[in-house]
A and B are shown apart, each in its own frame.
Chain A
Amino acid sequence: NAGVTQTPKFQVLKTGQSMTLQCAQDMNHEYMSWYRQDPGMGLRLIHYSVGAGITDQGEVPNGYNVSRSTTEDFPLRLLSAAPSQTSVYFCASITPWGGGEAFFGQGTRLTVV
């Protein structure tokens, strides 16, 4: 079972470059999220989606865009990469409301130089 699949696993960008982190889930979950993980700060919510066509901002949304055209896919876009966006990014797929659980991909380690 694939669960949540993230690509790429590693990426190095130059400041100002743009890129898209891919996330796909095969569990038919409506709810999906993007987190970033930095040392000593746990996981912080960037953007989330409650279903196809519906997205909203989390705790740290600046510099990131998301879209949700299908239930399966939830890509995260960096418009103009900055060194402060160097982090490990995790995509999560969440079971339905009311006693849900979050399942994570393996992460994308991004370095912006």
Chain B
Amino acid sequence: GQQLNQSPQSMFIQEGEDVSMNCTSSSIFNTWLWYKQEPGEGPVLLIALYKAGELTSNGRLTAQFGITRKDSFLNISASIPSDVGIYFCAGQPLLDTGNQFYFGTGTSLTVIP
């Protein structure tokens, strides 16, 4: 299967700090998605990216589709306690015939008030 390397694995930050995480793949992707998962719930889509170089924002969240098409970045500005959760990247390989997504291993975010 596709290998997606997501880093960092976990982050402990003070409320108000900015957060950055990234995801890299071994092959070219045509779509990158970023999800947030809270305990006991399924992943919820935050941002979708469809073009290399695309920069998209959703409130305090900003994500970018890397120029090489093998990476993506998510930034959260001015973190708040409700940002706590696990963030996953997901990618759709360019040559995948099944229209399926592959996921990173997640970044666990803890925000200290």
- Please list the residues of chain A having a beta carbon within 8 angstroms of any beta carbon in chain B: 4, 31, 33, 35, 40-45, 48, 50, 56, 58-59, 90, 92, 94, 96-107
Contact = CB atoms under 8 A, between A and B. Distances in A.
B75 interface: no
28 contacts: A4-B42, A31-B98, A31-B100, A33-B101, A40-B105, A41-B105, A42-B4, A43-B103, A44-B1, A44-B103, A45-B102, A50-B98, A59-B1, A90-B42, A94-B99, A94-B100, A96-B99, A99-B50, A100-B101, A101-B33, A101-B45, A102-B33, A102-B45, A104-B44, A105-B42, A106-B41, A106-B42, A107-B40
Contact of B101 (A96, A99, A102, A105): A102
B74 to A, nearest CB: 15
A31 B99 CA distance: 7
B37 to A, nearest CB: 9
A85 to B, nearest CB: 18
Bin chain B's interface residue count: 20 to 34
B64 interface: no
B76 interface: no
A102 to B, nearest CB: 5
Contact of A35 (B48, B92, B99, B103): B103
Interface in B48-97: 48, 50, 88, 90, 92
A100 B92 contact: yes
B43 interface: yes
Residue of A44, A45, A50 with most partner-chain B CB within 10 A: A45
Report, nearest first, the 6 A-B pairs whose CB atoms are least far apart.
A104-B42, A59-B1, A42-B105, A43-B103, A99-B50, A42-B103
Residue of B9, B42, B101 with most partner-chain A CB within 10 A: B42
A10 to B, nearest CB: 10
Given A41-B105, A42-B88, A44-B1, 16 more contacts: A42-B105, A43-B43, A43-B90, A45-B101, A50-B99, A56-B98, A58-B100, A94-B101, A96-B99, A98-B30, A99-B50, A100-B92, A101-B33, A104-B43, A105-B42, A107-B42
